Each structure stands twice: as structure tokens, then as C-alpha cells.
Amino acid sequence: MKKETVNDEFTRKRKARQRKIRKRRIKILIGFLVVALLITGAVLSLTVLFPIDSITVTGSEKYTAEEILSAAGIKKGDNLFTAKADAGAMAKKLPYVQSVQTVRKLPGSLTLKVKDAAEYACYNSDGKYFTVSRSLHVLNRCDEPPENMLLILAGNVSCKVGEDVQYGDNKAGGLIEQIEKSAEEYSLTLNRIDINDELAISVKTEGRFVVNFGTSNGLDGKFAHLASMIKNIDAQKTGTVNLSMWSSSNTEGTFVEGTAE
């Protein structure tokens, strides 16, 4: 009798163990099936499902919707979730494209919100003029510098429409940036920057002053002195300001009235 009881207990535990194993296997199988279904659904959604049936382009005043879609490589029938507009790549073909925001709406609507780059300055390169954005992306080539736009004269600079400005050395780019930063700090409007000769740096500012800085030594101090001088010059006067000899120990500048070319 005792032996039968032991056998029954063993059988009961074995069956319980087998039931647990079967349940575990069923759970694992269900897990695999769920994963497989998710993968299949993802693949279908990125290939067969959600084709684009409507495309809208907004924001650009420089390019047509057809030009933008061609540069983006997006067309009806493409998958809604894989279609992507790369602004960097597009800007090589359409230089004025600064950014592109992609907006998707189920089941198949795609909107491209384009932001055009603004012309910030004009570079002279090899006798030709090129307008650039604030990020120094070359936008356009023109025969003459546009009116009321900052003109930058720098030696050994290369400009190609659709690409970024390339300097022959990093010093030129850093110097231009330093001049722009100092002018902004002292609320001075720049009309021209000339660093063709690094020993005779000059700018035209406020539309009425040509300023000779000499070298870039003490440039921020020279700008501070310039801003102070301008405040004390009659608002109707134009001319040349010479700060080429200015230094922290010789804080003098001269103003000669005349035409500011």
C-alpha cells in the first residue's frame, strides 16, 4: 500500500512537471509567432503597405514642387515611412534649400516643408561674385555684388554653387568670423570686409566709414574704440578711420572726413 502511494505521488509530480514543460513550450511558441508577426508587419509596412498617394510641398519661393521632389527623389507609390528628404544632399542640386521637414499622415499623405536659405553675404572669388547663406553655403553666382549686401574680399578662397565656401587656410575663415563677431558685439553694421592683405585689414561700416585696422592684433579693442569714435562723429559725416597703429598702450585713432568708398 505504501509503495503504491509513493508511485502515485511520483506519477502526479511527473505529470505536473510535464504540464509545466508543455505550457512553457506553448508560451515560447506563441512568443516566436508574435515576433514573427511583428517582423512580417514591419516588413510589409516598409515595403507593400502605406504607399504615398498624396505629396504636398510648401515653403519654398525659389523652387517649384516638381524641382524639389526630383531633387529629393520622392514620388507617389514610394513607402510613406521610408521616404526621406535629405536637405544636405538636396542643397547640392538646389542651393537655396536650407532645411526640409517631412510630415507623414496615414494612410498615404506626405508633406515636405521647405525653408529657403537667405542671402547673407557676397564673396569675390577669382573676379567672380558669389552670394552665400549665413552658414557659408554658396547660393548663386552673379556678375556684380548685390546692393546692400555684405561684400567679403578674401584671398585664396574658393566658391562653387551648391557647396560650402572653401578657404585656402583656416586663418582667413577665423578672421572673418572674428570681425563679424566684434561688429555684432558693438552694434556696427558691416558693408564690406577686406582681408586680402592680412597686414592691412579694412572694413566699411555703417555705410559711411572705411576703417583701416592694420593687422588683426587687438581687433576687439579696435572695434570698441571705433564704436566710441563713431558716437562722437556727426551723423552726416563720412570718411576714413585709421586704427592701424592702435594698441592697448597706444589707444589713438584718427578720422579724416571724405568719401567712404
Each residue of 60-99: pLDDT tens digit? 999 999 999 999 999 999 989 888 888 888 999 999 999 9
The 10s digit of each residue's pLDDT in 205-246 is: 999 999 999 999 999 999 999 999 999 999 999 999 999 999
Decide if pLDDT at 101 tops 70: yes
Between the alpha carbon of residue 66 and those of residues 54, 82, 90, 94, the distances in Å are: 13, 20, 13, 12
Decide if pLDDT at 29 tops 90: no
Confidence of residue 50 (pLDDT cuts 50, 70, 90): confident
CATH number for the domain formed by residue range(s) 54-116 = 3.10.20.310
Q: How many CA atoms lie within 13 A of 55 on its CB side?
A: 22
Where is average pLDDT lowest: 28-32, 207-211, 248-252?
28-32
Thinking of the domain 121-257, which architecture would CATH place it in? 3-Layer(aba) Sandwich (3.40)
Q: Give the per-residue pLDDT at 81.
A: 86
Q: Give the per-residue pLDDT at 30.
A: 72
Rounded average pLDDT over 107-123: 95
- Write down the pTM of the prediction: 0.77
Per domain, the residue ranges of the chain are 1-49, 54-116, 121-257
Helix 219-231 vs helix 170-185: angle between axes, to the nearest 10 degrees?
30
Evaluate the omega torsion of the peptide bond into residue 107 and state whether it is cis, within 30 degrees of 0.
yes
Decide if pLDDT at 6 tops 90: no
